[in-house]
């Protein structure tokens, strides 16, 4: 199985900060990497698919990059509604596997 | 708009079975596949398997193979996930997710999860 790791596991940031979260795969997954946001008690929401394509309706302050084994989610200017947990998903090979998540909270 | 509405929370004893439903609306049910994903308390997500909304073909994760059955009912646009021989470590929130397809730069069809159900808490306890 492909193992997914994320860093950091948590971070504290202020409104307006630029935030970067990294996801790493244990083997190459080309660009088959997707990013999600989850708030407590809610279902996850798709932000980015295919490593860098912004899902319709998602604010442009979210962006994704990377290919192969290393990927990045960037929030250019953190907004109050962005405090949540973010996780990645690889769909290169079954079983699809997820990163453990990065919790973004208020500094 | 696309909606996936799941059945309510369940409490089961070890060794029992549970069947979770996921009713889809707002799109052509047979044009998409579903995956089932679970999240144990305080843990990450685990993919359990996949079912085609078109022909019912399935693929299960090795970890639950033999205990899980995924089905669809195209007359009611509903997907089902049944898990048998429940154990306490099956306690989790179970999600149905719709798989959207896209073509990569090599024209290979790939998938991602675009819509999620609201989740169903299954608690396994004696």
> Tens of pLDDT along A36-81?
999 998 999 999 999 999 999 999 999 999 999 999 999 999 999 9
Q: Which residue did the predictor score with more confidence, B106 or B6?
A: B6
Per-residue confidence band for A107, with pLDDT thresholds at 50, 70 and 90: confident
Report the residue of B103, B112, B121 to disrupt the A interface, i.e. the one with the largest count of A CBs within 10 Å: B112
Verify whether the Cβ–Cβ distance B104 to A100 is below 8 Å.
no
Rounded CA-CA distance B80/B93 in Å is 15
* Chain B residues closer than 8 Å to A34 by CB: 112-113
CB A80: neighbour CB atoms within 10 A? 7
Mean pLDDT of chain B, nearest integer: 95
Verify whether the Cβ–Cβ distance A91 to B112 is below 8 Å.
yes
What would the pLDDT profile of B99-120 be if each residue is shown by its tens digit?
998 888 888 888 999 999 999 9
Determine contact: A62 vs chain B, CB below 8 A.
no
Rounded CA-CA distance A67/A92 in Å is 12
Q: Which single residue is written with the structure tokens 């990645």?
A: A88
Determine contact: A96 vs chain B, CB below 8 A.
yes
Verify whether the Cβ–Cβ distance B117 to A43 is below 8 Å.
yes
Verify whether the Cβ–Cβ distance A50 to B118 is below 8 Å.
no
Q: Mean pLDDT throughout B26-54?
A: 94
Q: Mean pLDDT throughout B72-78?
A: 96
């Amino acid at each position: 199985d492909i193992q997914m790791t994320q860093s950091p596991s948590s971070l504290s940031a202020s409104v307006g900060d630029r935030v970067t979260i990294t996801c790493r795969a244990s083997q190459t997954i080309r660009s088959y990497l997707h990013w999600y946001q989850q708030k407590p008690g809610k279902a996850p929401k798709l932000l980015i698919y295919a490593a860098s394509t912004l899902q319709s309706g998602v604010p442009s302050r979210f962006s994704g990059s990377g290919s192969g084994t290393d990927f990045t989610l960037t929030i250019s200017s953190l907004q109050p509604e962005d405090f949540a947990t973010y996780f990645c998903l690889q769909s290169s090979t079954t079983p699809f596997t997820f990163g453990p998540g990065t919790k973004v909270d208020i500094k | 708009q696309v909606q996936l509405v799941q059945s309510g929370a369940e409490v089961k004893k070890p060794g029992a079975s549970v069947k979770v439903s996921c009713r889809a609306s707002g799109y052509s049910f047979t044009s998409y596949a579903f995956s089932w994903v679970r999240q144990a308390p305080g843990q990450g997500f685990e993919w359990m398997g996949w079912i085609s909304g078109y022909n019912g073909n399935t693929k299960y994760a090795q970890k639950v193979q033999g205990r899980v059955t995924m089905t669809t009912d195209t007359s009611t646009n509903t997907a089902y996930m049944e898990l048998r021989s429940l154990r306490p470590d099956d306690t989790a929130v179970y999600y149905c997710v719709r798989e959207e397809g896209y073509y990569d730069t090599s024209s290979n069809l790939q998938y991602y999860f675009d819509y999620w159900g609201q989740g169903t808490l299954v608690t396994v306890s004696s």
